[in-house]
């Protein structure tokens, strides 16, 4: 099944001529844990992380009561942790997180599939994740994966504004980001890999979808 949000650039008669791409979710699909939550604690340190979480408790309670959307929760968390932070500091911590923490979370079967795809057609491989871009790009670069679609932090004058640039890349935000990546092109999602509700729109837009494929 192909969702309307992706189908705007593709019709069945065009699929043969379209560019084939393979898109992977990151957290839970390639990794064993949610890296964004881990990065928040890694970035802030335990004391500051605890204080920020306490300040965010009303937002979390609002989400549980279905009064606050997931996207608004993500926006508030990013504002709480990153507003006013230097871009250079965020990138530095992201680089060390990608080097020291993420490798221990990678599913071996996922990495094997990624490496095979990189060998055969590296320009067709994309990661599309609700995690933030800085550490995903650093991790991807160590494996030759350069095409990253992620939740991005807005920067102004080399300082984080605390806002999300674009969309939270979750659920409908994933298909919006994919459309933005390939504006004006005929693109066919040959395969998509995911593990959660946040991947369903992307999975539905693919010719073949894989649900939690690397867990055995």
For 137, other C-beta atoms within 10 Å of its C-beta total 18
Give me the average pLDDT of each 10-residue run along the chain (216 residues).
37 60 98 98 98 98 97 98 98 98 98 96 96 98 97 98 97 95 91 97 97 91
Per-residue pLDDT, 6: 39
Burial of 88 (0-12, 13-18, 19+ CB in 10 A): exposed
Q: What kind of fold does domain 4-211 have according to CATH? A: Rossmann fold (3.40.50)
The Cα 118–Cα 100 span in angstroms is 23
The candidate with the shortest Cα–Cα distance to 213, out of 112, 134, 122, is: 112
The candidate with the shortest Cα–Cα distance to 125, out of 23, 15, 205, is: 23
pTM given for the model:
0.89
Per-residue pLDDT, 39: 98
Per-residue tokens: 166: 């674009």
The Cα 196–Cα 24 span in angstroms is 12
Per-residue pLDDT, 50: 98
């Amino acid at each position: 099944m192909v969702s309307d949000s992706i189908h705007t650039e593709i019709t069945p008669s065009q699929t043969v001529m379209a560019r084939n791409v393979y898109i992977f979710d990151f957290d839970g699909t390639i990794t064993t844990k949610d890296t964004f939550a881990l990065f928040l604690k890694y970035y802030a340190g335990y004391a500051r992380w605890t204080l920020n979480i306490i300040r965010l408790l009303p937002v979390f309670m609002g989400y549980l009561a279905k009064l606050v959307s997931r996207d608004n929760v993500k926006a508030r968390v990013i504002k709480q942790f990153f507003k006013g932070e230097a871009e250079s500091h965020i990138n530095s911590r992201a680089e060390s997180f990608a080097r020291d923490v993420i490798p221990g979370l990678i599913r071996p079967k996922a990495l094997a599939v990624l490496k095979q795809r990189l060998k055969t057609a590296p320009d067709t491989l994309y990661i599309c994740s609700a995690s933030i871009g800085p550490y995903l790009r650093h991790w991807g670069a160590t494996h030759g994966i350069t095409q990253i679609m992620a939740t991005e932090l807005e920067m102004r004058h080399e300082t984080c504004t605390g806002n999300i640039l674009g969309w939270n890349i979750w659920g409908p935000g994933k298909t919006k980001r994919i459309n933005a990546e390939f504006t004006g092109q005929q693109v066919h999602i040959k395969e998509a890999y995911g593990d959660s509700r946040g991947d369903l729109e992307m999975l539905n837009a693919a010719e073949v979808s894989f649900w939690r494929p690397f867990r055995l």
